[in-house]
Structure 1
Amino acid sequence: MQKLQAVIFDWAGTLVDFGSFAPTTIFVEAFRRGYDFDVSLAEARVPMGLGKWDHIQAVGRIPEVAERWLAQFGEPMTNKNIDDIYEVFMPLQIAKVAQHADPIPGAPQVLNQLRDKGLKIGSCTGYPRCVIDELLPAAKANGIAPDNVVATDDLASGGRPAPYMVLKNVIDLAVTDVNACVKVDDSVPGITEGLNASMWTVALLLSGNEAGLTQAEYEAADEETLAQARTKARLAFDGSGAHYQIDTIADLPAVLEDIDKRLAAGEKP
């Protein structure tokens, strides 16, 4: 007997945008346009999963970035600096996010399977509402249309790693038990979010932020290259507390079957 009620997904790197390039490349561009300051793509990836203002702040606090900022400007990064970069970031993200609406391979099929089983499909994102609303029509045209979407600024209580966005999904979807929910994400803050809500959590190793592969690189990679990418991602996720680690959303159905068996046996996340 099925025990699961809902699966709640992240967006970039989980459902769409293989490698989570829409936010990261635009963070790099926003720093450059806002203050003629360079951050690397790897540095921009470090705090992925946070709300975007918090993400900019977290990048600025990376020791190497903070040191370069101090050398260039003579003082530490301030909230005013973060506001300025955020104001540059937002229009760029709104303008370009729909260009990154290609689904992760297998994602439309998995969502259809979940619906066929009667599972509810939620989602939440580090994107603010004005950005995710630009992405939704393009994603829907590509077969990605969750039952519910919560953006990081929909709630006054804030975003990840706090559990409020996933709990808002629970309320909106009329789910009766958080233990019967699964959170699927490609970032550590997104996994922590699910754990803080007492949900099962599934970390994605190869489709998202931690591996940083493009879809073309993933599809062309030999097994040794993929193994190296998994190892890189596991270094981030091994301490996250994620219940499962899989390559991409295409591997999720087998995990959900296992969780259902564990729930039926009386286990809780």
Structure 2
Amino acid sequence: MSGFVWQRRWRGPVQAVIFDWAGTTVDHGCMAPALAFTRTFEAAGVPVTIAEARAPMGAEKRDHIAALMAMPRIADAWAATHGHEPREQDIDNLYAAFLPHQLAVIADHAAPVPGCLETVRALRQRGIRIGANTGYAQAMMDVLAPAAAAHGYVPDDSVNASDVPRGRPAPSMALRNAANLGVDAVAACIKVDDTPVGIEEGLAAGMWTVGVALSGNEAALSHDALQALAPEARAALRRRTHERLARTGAHLVIDSVADFLPALAEIEARLARGEQP
């Protein structure tokens, strides 16, 4: 019979998990970049709110600043303070000013999210490779990576925004991770991220995606602050953050990496049934 086409599918196991850094595996609440952005804009005479600073989180950091400068309120405040609309040179100057603020706080927020080390250990016991990528540039990772290693977290491969021509939501970093880790198919990879733009990266790369709702930028709370929430407030926050990441297209959404193993089991069951990302 005519009209049929052959479709090639990966039905093997997951071979690699590619985690985001801040808010996913380390720095509960994604606190370091939020602090650095607010301090940078305050020093430039145009304070931004924490909510504004967090909105483009996950992007390469110069792109993040450009996105903030494009927000109408911030653009208007910039024009009122500096006498002109935001320019490319202003973005360059802010990025240069941002770097020391980021480097000053990054090591203080390098502790792994609770459950991260146990999850990574369980994945390695199954022969699954551990990738990592980030909107941070190399100078920032030169501080964060050894600080995280001192706490016991060392991925098998890490790719930075400065390593690729285009940062998130482009798939470049995730695809480079996959190549470096030697996987057989992108469908054998899971991208885990706490930001919508990080989920979009994984989807663009053709990978399974898992959103992290409560340990990252969407919830925007330290571990202690999250634990201190009343049950009703925590439940409301959970609903809101899960819905936000699900709307981005994440295949599954979990609270934190501590809850990742059941998500892995579900994805491997879906692969065995012939489903694809």
TM-score, normalization by structure 1 = 0.96
Is the contact between residue 157 and residue 180 of structure 2 (CA under 8 Å) also seen in structure 1? yes
Matches within 5 A, 1:120-269: 120-155=129-164, 157-269=165-277
- 1:123 and 1:23 map into 2 onto residues whose CA distance is 17
Matches within 5 A, 1:31-180: 31-33=41-43, 35-155=44-164, 157-180=165-188
Greater C-alpha radius of gyration: 2
Q: Secondary structure at the match of 1:17?
A: coil
CA apart distance, 1:2: 6.0
Q: CA deviation at 1:46?
A: 0.2
Q: How far does residue 95 in structure 1 lie from its aligned partner after superposition?
A: 2.7
* CA shift for structure 1 position 262: 0.7
Deviation digits for residues 22-48 of structure 1 (CA, Å, limit 9, x no counterpart): 001101111122x22101111000000
Deviations 1:8-64 (A, max 9, x none): 00000000000001001101111122x221011110000001000000010111222
Give secondary structure in 2 for the equivalent of 1:124: strand
TM-score normalised by the chain length of structure 2: 0.93
SS of 1:218's equivalent?
A: helix
Alignment pair present for 1:5 and 2:29: no
1:14 to 7, 13, 24: 24
Q: Residue 207 of structure 1: CA displacement?
A: 0.4
* Cα offset, 1:72, TM superposition: 2.3
**5+ residue gaps, structure 2:** 1-10
- SS of corresponding position for 2:121: helix
Q: Distance in 2 between matches of 1:63 and 1:249?
A: 35
Q: How many residue pairs get matched?
A: 267
Cα deviation for residue 106 of structure 1 reads 0.2
Distance 2:243 2:269 in 1: 28
Q: CA deviation at 1:141?
A: 1.5
> What is the alpha-carbon distance in structure 2 between the residues aligned to residue 237 and residue 253 of structure 1?
19
Q: Secondary structure at the match of 1:122?
A: strand
Letter in 1 for 2:29: G
Gaps of 5+ in 1: none
Match of residue 23 from structure 1? 33
Distance 2:39 2:269 in 1: 46
RMSD across aligned positions (CA)? 1.3
